[in-house]
Structure formats: structure tokens, C-alpha cells
């Protein structure tokens, strides 16, 4: 099934709804935009009423819409969605499920009269449904790391994709560029910002630091596989133009790439706080409120540790590493995490990927199998078909196994023969970890697989810490 990448239909229907007037931080990018949105939202939530829209959803469709970092009430969601669907049917606009969800989110936020909205782009930027918001509602636009993904829709080069994503820039409004791994992105973005008349900004630097008990409190326990203790947060410091002294905080999101995401997040907040539209709310914010917001950030399924109980206790790391760039971040984090630990280490992957014509399973999985002195066990599974997205196709587990055997011929594998076998995969992972105190289970790949993981935990009432 093809995707109609135009804004004509959704713009036409949006005119039938109440005007959208919420001050908005609009965030695009290939990797990290969800983390940035979660950080920005959590920081705002310490002082004002904030709405956030992320995609895809995690467990249920309406959990993609939050107010003060809590899933929107089901009755509020259903009322807004019913209104959008009624207008869609009456006007025969034939909106996609994502377009309906986007309009639902905007209507929820307008009805709730939130002080600020953090709006994550779904795919691309220029023709994404979220890009229908009016110029006057935009506080700041931002772009996270750009890489190859969704080439069938956005272009086959990083430059082409960057052009699509930077098209969310608005005249006279700040546009903050995050850290990039591809040099060509900056030139493309600079041209887009210049042509649009937006104001180009770069992410403020964020530095790691030593733990300070006077600032951070008692030091947390160290990471331990055998004791099932997840790593402590990372102490950081940075300057914001609106404060005359450094902000010291604890970053609970794991991985070096999250330092870059935090840098972009605090830059987005800084740009918003110094905007004329936000001037009346600015006095509510302090360096402490910023630090509290960072410390309170939760972003499930992105390097998230969980201790669960099956036939044997398991320490599970869940991460939506669905393309080569995000898999590289996961691989780098695993290397950093496991390198200091005594060997051998038993690492059990549970993997599931969606099909994409421009990326092979081997390319995506390669960064995960570069760890030395590790015994690999790998379960290959399918994820549930996402509602309203018939174009999303699962890579057959047998095809994934071929990629794994190419990358790590000595690995032990388990292959799902049908959908809904994630529970069996977890039980197999548990059997691999028996009598192995230094073991870690990693559920990784498509975000739809990560969603299945959280649904399973809820349905089976597995103990989840």
C-alpha cells in the first residue's frame, strides 16, 4: 500500500476544526527525536502544562498523546478522535490513520489549553502531517541526527533526507540543529533556514562530570549483571543563556548519544524560554526546575533496563534500534557497558525488524555483533502488525537468522515460526541464562517489537521493575 505524502487533505479537514493556537516546539530527525521530545516535555512539565505527541505509540494508540507526561485520559482522546473521524467521513477526505491521530492530538491539546506542546514529526518533515501547524504557533523547530531511513519516501541520500526534515523551519522562528554525524547535513540545513527566513541556532554544549554528593545526593549502586542492578544516571552540567550559573543535573537516559540529545533538548527549552510568546511563563523556571525535569525523564523502549521474573530472573535491555545508525548507538553502548565486566558474558538478543528496501538486515544488525569475548544467543521473532499501517512488513525470522549466522557463525539461534511468539522467545532467553550470573537479554529492533514486549509484560503480569 502506498502512502499519500501530501498535506492537501489534512489541511482541508483541519479548517473544519477549532484553530490550533498552542505554542509549539516542533522536532524532526532520523534518530533521537523521541528522546529529545521526552526531555523537553519533562523539563516543561515541572513548571507549566505541557502536551506531547510522539509516534509510533508504545502500547495503545492514545499513549502517543500525553499531558504533563501522563497518557491523555481515554475519554478525552475518544471524544477528540470521534470529532475528527466524523468530519473525515462527512467531508470524504479519506485521511490516513496517522493524519487522524495527528489532528486528534492537536484537538486534545487545544481543548486542554496546554501552555506548550512538544510535537514530534512522524516521518520526514516537509510533508508530515504535523507540519500543518500555523507559523504563529511555532516557538522553535529542531532537528536531531539525520541518517538514512525511509529512503523510499524521503530520498536516497542523507542530503535529500536532511532537506525534507529541515523544511519544518518557519520564518522568523528559531531552528536548532543538533549534533550530526554527516557533514553535509549542516550545509543543507543552513540553506533551508536561510531560504525560509528562520533563525539558525546550534545545540548548546553539555558536559559529563563526576558525581557530586553535595549536588546529586548519595551515589547510586554500580551496574551489576548478577545483581540485576541497572546503571546509575550520568551527571552532567551545561550553561543556558537564561541563567547566570551552570545547571547540574542527572541524565537518566543511557548512551553517549543521549548527551547530544540532551544538548538539543536544553537548547530547545532555552529558545522557547527566551521567546516573546513565552515571556509570561519564563519566571517559573529555575536551574533546579530544569535539573528536576531532566532527572524525571522517562522514555521506555530506548535503552531501557527492566528486571523481570520468568522461570528465572532476567535483566532485560529494551531498545528500538531499527536502522543501522540506531543499531550503531546500541552496539556502542553495549560495548561501553560490558567492556569492564569479567568475561565471559552471555548476551541474548531477541530481534525483530521491519522490511525496508534500502537497508538489509545484515547492515542493520552488524553493529550488534562486534563485541569481544561475548557468547551470543539470538532469538529471531516477528512483531504484531501495527494498526492502520498495512505497508509495514516484518522481515521473516529465517531471513534474520541468515544475517545473524553471516555476522556471528557460532551464535546459538532460535527462530519463531509464527507471530505472537515473543513469550516463547523470552522463555528461551531465560533458558540460555540459567546458571549464567553474568547474562543480559536485549530486546531490540523495530519499535513495534518493543511495543509487543511492553504489552506482553502487562498481559502476563510479569514482574517489571
- Of residues 173 and 3, the one with the higher pLDDT is 173
Q: Does 385 score more than 90 pLDDT?
A: no
Contact yes or no for 13/134 (Cβ under 8 A): no
Contact yes or no for 284/407 (Cβ under 8 A): no
Backbone angles phi, psi at 347, to 5 degrees: -115, 120
Q: Which tens digit of pLDDT belongs to each residue from 418-427?
A: 887 999 999 9
- Strand-pair category, 65-67 with 70-71: antiparallel
Q: How far apart are CA 145 and CA 370, in angstroms?
A: 23
Q: Can you give the pLDDT at residue 182?
A: 87
Backbone angles phi, psi at 255, to 5 degrees: 105, 145
Q: Does 440 score more than 80 pLDDT?
A: yes
| Residue 451 to residues 252, 271, 300, 313, 429, Cα–Cα distance (Å) | 21, 33, 9, 21, 18
Cell of 184: 553535509
- Residue spans per domain, the chain: 8-295, 304-460
Cβ atoms within 10 A of the Cβ of 26, count?
28
Q: Which tens digit of pLDDT belongs to each residue from 41-90?
A: 999 999 999 999 998 888 888 999 999 999 999 999 999 999 999 999 99
Contact yes or no for 98/53 (Cβ under 8 A): no
**Neighbouring-strand partners of residue 117:** 24, 51
Cβ atoms within 10 A of the Cβ of 202, count?
13
Q: Does 186 score more than 50 pLDDT?
A: yes
Backbone angles phi, psi at 331, to 5 degrees: -60, -40
Contact yes or no for 159/45 (Cβ under 8 A): no
Q: Does 1 score more than 50 pLDDT?
A: no
What percentage of the chain's residues is helix, strand, coil (to nearest 5)? 40, 20, 40
Specify the CATH number for 304-460; select among 3.90.190.20, 3.30.70.250, 3.40.50.720, 3.40.50.970.
3.90.190.20
Q: Does 40 score more than 50 pLDDT?
A: yes
User: Vertex 399, ends 396 and 401: CA angle to 5°?
Assistant: 110
pLDDT-above-70 percentage for the chain:
95
Who's near 336: CB < 8 A, 6+ residues apart? 256
Q: Can you give the pLDDT at residue 149?
A: 63
Cell of 4: 499519500
Q: How far apart are CA 423 and CA 457, in angstroms?
A: 9
Q: Does 390 score more than 70 pLDDT?
A: no
SS3 177: strand
Q: How far apart are CA 20 and CA 107, in angstroms?
A: 7
Average pLDDT of the chain, as a whole number: 91
* Banded model confidence at residue 348, pLDDT cuts 50, 70, 90: very high
CB neighbour burial string for 439-454, b if at least 16 within 10 angstroms, e if fewer: bbbbbbbbbbbbbbbb
- Which among 106-110, 339-343, 355-359, 456-460 has the top mean pLDDT? 106-110
Q: Which tens digit of pLDDT belongs to each residue from 112-153?
A: 999 999 999 987 778 899 999 999 999 999 999 998 765 556
SS3 213: helix
Q: Which tens digit of pLDDT belongs to each residue from 257-293?
A: 999 999 999 999 999 999 988 989 999 999 999 999 9
Q: How far apart are CA 173 and CA 195, in angstroms?
A: 13
Q: Can you give the pLDDT at residue 345?
A: 87
Cell of 409: 557463525
Equal CATH topology for 8-295 and 304-460: no
Q: How far apart are CA 10 and CA 272, in angstroms?
A: 27
Q: Does 307 score more than 70 pLDDT?
A: yes
Q: Does 166 score more than 70 pLDDT?
A: yes
Q: Can you give the pLDDT at residue 99?
A: 94
* CATH class given for the domain over 8-295: alpha beta
Q: Can you give the pLDDT at residue 123?
A: 79
Q: Does 95 score more than 60 pLDDT?
A: yes
The stretch 4-17 carries a mean pLDDT of 88
The stretch 28-38 carries a mean pLDDT of 93
Q: Which of 102, 34, 105 is nearest to 447 (CA)?
A: 34
Q: Can you give the pLDDT at residue 429?
A: 94
In 339-436, where does DSSP find H-type helix?
Answer: 361-365, 397-407, 422-433
Amino acid at each position: 500500500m502506498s502512502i499519500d505524502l501530501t498535506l492537501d487533505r489534512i489541511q482541508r479537514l483541519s479548517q473544519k476544526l477549532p484553530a490550533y493556537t498552542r505554542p509549539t516546539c516542533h522536532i524532526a530527525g532520523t534518530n533521537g527525536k523521541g528522546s529529545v521530545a521526552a526531555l523537553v516535555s519533562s523539563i516543561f512539565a515541572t513548571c507549566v502544562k505541557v502536551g506531547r505527541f510522539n509516534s509510533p505509540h508504545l502500547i495503545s494508540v492514545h499513549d502517543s498523546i500525553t499531558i504533563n507526561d501522563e497518557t491523555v485520559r481515554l475519554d478525552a482522546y475518544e471524544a477528540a478522535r470521534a470529532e475528527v473521524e466524523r468530519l473525515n467521513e462527512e467531508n470524504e477526505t479519506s485521511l490516513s490513520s496517522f493524519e487522524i491521530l495527528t489532528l486528534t492530538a492537536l484537538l486534545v491539546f487545544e481543548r486542554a489549553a496546554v501552555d506548550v506542546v512538544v510535537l514530534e514529526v512522524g516521518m520526514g518533515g516537509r510533508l508530515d502531517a504535523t507540519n500543518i501547524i500555523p507559523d504563529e504557533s511555532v516557538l522553535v523547530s529542531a532537528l536531531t541526527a539525520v541518517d538514512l531511513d525511509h529512503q523510499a519516501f524521503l530520498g536516497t541520500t542523507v542530503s535529500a533526507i536532511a532537506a525534507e526534515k529541515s523544511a519544518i523551519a518557519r520564518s522568523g522562528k528559531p531552528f536548532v540543529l543538533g549534533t550530526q554525524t554527516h557533514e553535509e547535513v549542516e550545509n543543507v540545513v543552513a540553506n533551508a533556514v536561510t531560504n525560509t527566513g528562520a533563525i539558525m541556532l546550534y545545540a548548546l554544549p553539555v558536559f559529563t562530570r563526576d558525581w557530586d554528593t553535595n549536588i546529586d545526593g548519595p551515589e547510586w549502586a554500580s551496574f551489576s549483571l548478577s545483581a540485576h542492578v541497572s546503571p546509575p544516571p550520568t551527571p552532567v552540567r551545561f550553561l543556558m543563556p537564561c541563567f547566570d550559573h551552570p545547571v547540574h543535573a542527572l541524565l537518566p537516559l543511557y548512551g553517549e548519544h543521549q548527551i547530544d540529545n540532551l544538548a538539543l533538548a536544553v537548547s530547545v527549552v532555552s529558545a522557547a524560554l527566551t521567546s516573546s510568546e513565552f515571556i509570561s511563563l519564563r519566571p517559573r523556571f529555575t536551574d533546579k526546575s530544569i535539573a528536576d525535569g531532566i532527572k524525571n525523564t522517562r522514555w521506555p523502549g530506548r535503552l531501557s533496563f527492566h528486571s523481570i521474573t520468568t522461570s528465572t530472573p532476567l535483566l532485560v535491555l529494551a531498545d528500538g534500534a531499527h536502522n543501522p545508525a540506531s543499531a550503531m548507538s546500541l552496539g556502542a553502548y553495549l560495548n561501553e557497558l560490558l567492556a569492564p565486566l569479567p568475561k565471559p558474558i552471555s548476551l541474548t538478543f531477541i530481534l525483530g525488524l521491519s522490511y525496508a528496501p534500502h537497508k538489509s538486515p545484515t547492515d542493520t544488525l552488524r553493529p550488534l555483533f562486534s563485541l569481544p569475548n561475548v557468547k551470543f544467543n539470538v532469538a529471531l521473532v516477528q512483531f504484531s502488525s501495527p494498526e492502520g499501517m498495512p505497508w509495514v512488513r516484518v522481515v521473516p525470522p529465517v531471513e534474520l537468522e541468515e544475517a545473524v549466522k553471516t555476522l556471528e557463525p557460532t551464535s546459538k539461534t532460535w527462530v519463531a515460526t509464527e507471530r505472537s511468539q515473543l513469550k516463547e522467545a523470552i522463555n528461551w532467553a531465560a533458558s540460555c541464562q540459567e546458571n549464567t550470573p553474568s547474562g543480559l537479554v536485549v530486546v531490540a529492533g523495530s519499535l513495534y517489537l518493543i511495543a509487543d514486549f511492553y504489552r506482553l509484560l502487562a498481559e502476563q503480569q510479569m514482574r517489571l521493575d
